[in-house]
Structure 1
Amino acid sequence: MGRSAPTAARGKRHLFARHAAVAHRRASRLDPTLHALLWSAASGLLFVLLNSLMRGLSIALDPFQTQFLRYLMGLAVMLPFIARSGFAAYKPHNTLGQFTRGGVHTIGLCIWFTAIPHISIADTTAIGFTGPIFIMLGAVLVFKEPMRWERWLAAGLGFGGVLIVVAPKLTGSGGLYNLVMLASAPVFAASFLMTKALTRYERTEVIVVWQAITVTLFSFPLALLHWQWPSAGQWLLFLLCGLLGSAGHYCLTSSYAAADISATQSVKFLDLVWATLIGWLVFADAPSRSTLIGGLVICGSTIWIARREARGPKG
């Protein structure tokens, strides 16, 4: 009788392993672009959760300190994986490229964190969705990716859905900070295009680790300017931010490695749907009529482009 419990536990683990293997085989048969869209959608959900926490922390603490601690904790949660495989497994092929990408991303973060405590979530959401447009333009100019009409149409419909949602809520009260937030969009687009370039010869986990290392190093001097020691609760929130951020960047980088970067941009408009659902479920913010209509437009465009991409360019 004493051996039955361990035997049962082993049986459950084997059953779970078999189910996981079946799920992995089924996922491996999916079209690469559909794979990329799923990775991108998952990253969007993680980043919406992350940004909700980051906005609150950046109001309570100095924004640059918040930026530093978010990436420091992101690096901390990856240390066990680095220790298990050894640092040599995470040595990049192009160290200069990793630091250059980290520097560009740090500039975008500095701009973003400067604006985020001063403007509304509606304004932030509206301005943030200009990013996919910059990325798609960059993909055409830099990588010569084929920009089929379906991708442009899906991006246009998704952006239209965003405008339906946020236009009634835009107040313009942020003034200059709206323009500051807008300035971060092309900088982040440049960072993500550099990430796409790095995926050609770097593993996803290497890129994510070195992003955490470089942004932490570049952000540290700015964090010292107005340092305030966080409370125990804030340290726990930063640790959660590190987990969400590292997972989000892993999903995002995986999407870039799986397919053309331009093919993943239409699904980013789903972030607004995630934000609406979180506000409804967590904060009891009932979605307005414009939110529901815009959400349907966004979901419809995303489902349509996913089906088109799964069928290929001649579908």
Structure 2
Amino acid sequence: MPPPSPSNSPHRPLAAIGLRLVAVICLSVMFVTVRLADARGVHVVESLFYRQALALPVVFAWIATTTGAGSIRTRRIGVHATRMVIGMTGMLLNFLSYILLLPAEAVTIGFTMPIFGTLLSALILREATGIHRWSAVLIGFLGVIVMVRPDAGHFPAIGVAVALSAAFVTACVSLVLRELGRTESAGVIVFWFTLLSLPPLGAAMLFHGQAHDAATWGLLLLIGLSGGIAQICMTAALRRAPVSVVLPMDYSSIVWTTLLGWAIWGNWPMATTWIGAALIVGSGLYIAWREHVRAPPAPSA
């Protein structure tokens, strides 16, 4: 049986917002746990492998109990493979950004993804981009400059470069997802991304896999489970409300990530980080609002 289309799903905005918040909290936990695992000698390849391997049964069980196991069939395996390659590159860069930077800094720079998405849409898809969105792009990059303060040397340059690269690659993923979303449900996309990533990651584990103590295995388990739950909650949220309703919840991750960083390492962002974050978040929300306003109205039933 094919998965229900969003138009046939019940519109429950409060439930959608709650699910998206759970997803964002789980992602914050996952990224902070990656940093903790790195401090215990876990190679980033191991974190990636267990993130995918442990999430796969969670994702498949969810699909099997909702739309049915048969819904994972696809005729676009090549596009799924392309999405996997780009997506794994983005995940690797995101993991590294949380290892190289403090959590609040990494998550804030990650908010530049909609800015890169606007640039890519204009340059690659030739979408019309007016003065409003170009202004938001400039304000967002100004926020990065204010936060990083290149003259002050507060942030390692390699960490900033990796975090910006992660945001750029994630924006590239959004273009591929836009194409896949024409024919594939969100659950199918998540399943094939997870499954197709395991063979290359398994091969890399031959060189980077290690034995660990019980506490470290617990961290790896947390990485996988929190990542899988986040994917499920994100997908479930979009079944109950449109993107424009749930997207603002993503920016709450700076709150959860900052609190976790403060509780675990005693790190609190500088004033310039908060100012830069406000500019970046504001630009991202404005871009999302403009896309919502400019979207063609849904056909009436």
Is residue 42–residue 251 contact of structure 1 (8 Å, CA) maintained in 2? yes
- Distance (whole Å) between structure 2 residues aligned to residue 173 and residue 299 of structure 1: 20
Residue 203 of structure 1 and its aligned partner are, at CA, apart by 0.5
Partner of 2:39: 59
- Per-residue deviation, residues 232-289 of structure 1 (Å, max 9, x unmatched): 333333333223323434566676x9569xx999986654344334445666645543
**Alpha-carbon distance in structure 2 between the residues aligned to 1:175 and 1:302:** 23
1:20 aligns to what? none
The equivalent residue for 2:197 is 215
Contact 1:43–1:251 under 8 Å retained in 2: yes
- Alpha-carbon distance in structure 2 between the residues aligned to 1:286 and 1:179: 22
- Alignment length (residue pairs): 283
Q: In structure 2, what is the Cα distance between the partners aligned to 1:281 and 1:86?
A: 41
Deviations 1:128-161 (A, max 9, x none): 3443332222223444444344334444444444
Q: Distance in 1 between matches of 2:261 and 2:151?
A: 15
Alpha-carbon shift at residue 80 of structure 1 (Å): 2.2
Residues 1:191 and 2:191 aligned together: no
Q: Is the 8 A contact 1:157 1:301 kept in 2?
A: yes
Match of 1:75 among 29, 34, 56: 56
Contact 1:71 1:216 (C-alpha < 8 Å) held by counterparts: yes
- Judged with a 3 Å threshold, the aligned counterparts in structure 2 of structure 1 residues 92 and 39 are, in CA distance, closer, same or farther, namely farther
Q: By how many angstroms is 1:198 displaced?
A: 0.8
**Higher Cα Rg, which structure:** 1
Of residues 169, 182, 186 in structure 2, which corresponds to 1:200? 182
CA RMSD across the alignment: 4.3
Greater shift, 197-206 or 246-255, is seen at 246-255
Q: CA deviation at 1:99?
A: 1.6
Residue-by-residue CA offset, 1:37-62 (whole Å, 9 max, x unaligned): 99887755543332111122133211
One of 108, 125, 136 as aligned partner of 2:118 = 136
Structure number with the bigger relative contact order (C-alpha 8 A, sep ≥ 6) is: 2
Change (3 A) 1:190 1:286: closer
TM-score (norm 2): 0.70
In the aligned structure 1, how far is the partner of 2:287 from the partner of 2:157? 36
Mapped partners of 2:114, 2:198: distance in 1: 25
Runs of 5+ consecutive residues of structure 2 not aligned to the other structure = 1-9, 297-301
1-side partners of 2:64 and 2:159: how far apart? 42
Q: Does 1:246 align with 2:228?
A: yes
What percentage of residue pairs aligned between the two structures are identical? 27
The answer to whether the aligner puts 1:27 opposite 2:13 as a matched pair is yes
- Name the counterpart of 2:28: 48
Distance 1:265 1:193, change over 3 A: farther
Deviation at 1:69, TM superposition (A): 0.7
Q: Is the 8 A contact 1:106 1:218 kept in 2?
A: no
Q: How many Å apart are 1:293 and its aligned residue? A: 3.8
**Is 2:215 the counterpart of 1:233?**
yes
